[in-house]
Amino acid sequence: MKTLNPSKSSKPQETEEETAQAELSTTQYLVETIKQLQTRNEHLKLELLKTRRIPSGKIGLAFLVPGAVSLGFSIYTNSPVLAFIGLGLTFWGALFFFARPIKYVRSSLLDSAAIASYTTIDRIVKDLNYKGKSFYIPPYPKDVYLPEYLKGLKNMIVFISANEGASMPSIEDIAQNRFLIQKPKGISVAPPGLGLLTLIENEMQTDITTLNLTELCENLAKTILENFQLAKDLKITPEEEKIHIQITDSIYKQLYSKEENLKSIHFLGSPIISAIACAIAKNTGKTVTIQKDKVSLDGQTITVELQFRRE
Amino acid sequence: MNFPLSISDIGLWLAITAIILLVTSEFLSSSTTYLRDIVIDRTRLRLISIGVGLAFMATVIMRIFQPL
């Protein structure tokens, strides 16, 4: 009897453990769902805020409605004065729909804000005596389910290797968001153009992974030039496993100047180049490296060559 | 119940509007201080002003073939 007792007591214990396990997984699932819902809620709040922030639209309506009424009355009363008033009000009302309120800052503020992070990376690289390259490692898509310990794989990172011919860091190191990586030696940091890429994606309103490379290059150049006006001219030419970028009069051109003497700008690229490299890595699912860069004598034109790396 | 404006009236209005819009679109590029928090799509504004200018030209052509 005594020998049977432990087996009898272990069964309920197992059931309890199973119940606890099930409860734990349910809680985890619920927490995950709540997180997703919270993120969605934040997105919806932002969208709502966007739609509300068009006071010029209200002004436009305030002009359009009396304008239309005035035009109608001018036909009814056969009055040219009312017709002129109506035409004017309608036209300017329509014009107000083109005005959008936005906050502008000086462009010099952007590069001066970026210098600090490049200087920090310069100091780290110099201190660790690294002479390698940077590798833009593509992240996992946001909508793919990954267990908690692999969630770090969804973050876009750039790996700066200690030596030229380094291989890629292990999945564990990337997943754990490690800064110092031992095998192969190097550091992993957030790309300087990651924030800009998020803005570009929001502006494009398309998932960049769904576009083909030529479409992506065209859309990127268009968004950077027309929507953000970050440069005077930008040419992104895709080739087989290579991308040629030529930027003229970029707002980050000061980062390449000899006075600043930044080393990291040449292997990480300016925020614009970094954002383009991130976008290409995300789109192709391949690691992207900055192969070479060249600054024109007057410092106005920067030519960069990106290369995909097959794993 | 006819529209009370003649072609010449509309032509005059279009010409004045086109000039105002063209001047505004040129003015926008240099005076960001006064329009700091407002963005007007300059390219679109210029396109509209050119369109209005072309409409004025159309009224002129109409008056050539139909003087009254």
Is residue A99 within 8 Å of residue B38, measured between CB atoms?
yes
Considering the domain boundaries, does residue B2 fall inside one? no
| CA gap A20, A31 in Å, rounded | 16
Considering the domain boundaries, does residue B25 fall inside one? yes
| CA gap A33, A290 in Å, rounded | 39
How many domains does chain B contain in total?
A: 1
pLDDT of residue A203: 84
| Percentage of chain B lying above the pLDDT 70 cut | 76
In sign, the C-alpha dihedral spanning A170, A174, A175, A178 is positive
Which residue among B37, B41, B44 sits closest to A103, beta carbon to beta carbon? Answer: B37
pLDDT of residue B44: 76
| CA gap B66, A299 in Å, rounded | 59
pTM: 0.63
Distances, alpha carbon A91 to alpha carbons A211, B15, B52, in Å: 39, 13, 11
Considering the domain boundaries, does residue B49 fall inside one? yes
Considering the domain boundaries, does residue B56 fall inside one? yes
Considering the domain boundaries, does residue B12 fall inside one? yes
**Tens digits of per-residue pLDDT, A158-174?**
888 888 776 777 777 77
Q: Which of A298, A303, A306 is nearest to A258 (CA)?
A: A298
Question: Residues for chain B: how many in total?
Answer: 68
| CA gap A28, A46 in Å, rounded | 27
Looking up tokens 């991308």 gives: A243
Q: Cβ contact (<8 Å) for B38 and A101?
A: yes
**Tens digits of per-residue pLDDT, A14-30?**
777 887 777 777 777 77
pLDDT of residue B1: 73
Structure tokens at A50: 């966007």
Query: Is the bond preceding residue B4 a cis peptide, omega within 30 degrees?
Result: no
Q: Given the DSSP bridges, would you call strands A180-181 and A186-189 parallel, antiparallel or unpaired?
A: antiparallel
Please state which of the ranges A78-92, A127-141, A285-299 shows the lowest mean pLDDT. A127-141
Structure tokens at A131: 């002479």
Chain A residues inside the 8 Å CB shell of B13: 84, 87-88
Is residue B13 within 8 Å of residue A87, measured between CB atoms?
yes
Residue type, B7: I
Considering the domain boundaries, does residue B26 fall inside one? yes
Is residue A266 within 8 Å of residue A205, measured between CB atoms?
no
Q: Please compute Rg for chain B using Cα positions.
A: 15
**Angle of the B7-30 helix axis to the B42-65 helix axis, nearest 10:** 160
State the number of CA atoms in the 13 A half-sphere of A122 facing the CB. 15
Domain containing residue B17: 7-31+38-65
Per-residue pLDDT, averaged over A275-283, amounts to 91
Per-residue pLDDT, averaged over A74-87, amounts to 89
DSSP A89-106: HHHHHHHHTTEEE-----
Q: Which of residues 8-67 of B touch A (CB under 8 A)?
A: 9, 13, 17, 32, 36-41, 44-45, 48
DSSP A25-46: HHHHHHHHHHHHHHHHHHHHHH
**Tens digits of per-residue pLDDT, A200-229?**
988 888 888 888 888 889 989 988 888 888
Please state which of the ranges A57-61, A109-113, A248-252, B30-34 shows the lowest mean pLDDT. B30-34
**Tens digits of per-residue pLDDT, A220-266?**
998 888 888 888 899 999 888 889 999 998 888 888 887 778 888 88
Angle, CA A42 vertex, CA A38 and CA A47 arms, to 5°:
145
Per-residue pLDDT, averaged over A175-180, amounts to 80
Q: Which of residues 87-146 of A touch B (CB under 8 A)?
A: 87-88, 91, 95, 98-104
Considering the domain boundaries, does residue B1 fall inside one? no
- What is the chain B residue with the closest CA to A79? B4
pLDDT of residue A1: 42
ipTM rounded to 2 decimals: 0.72
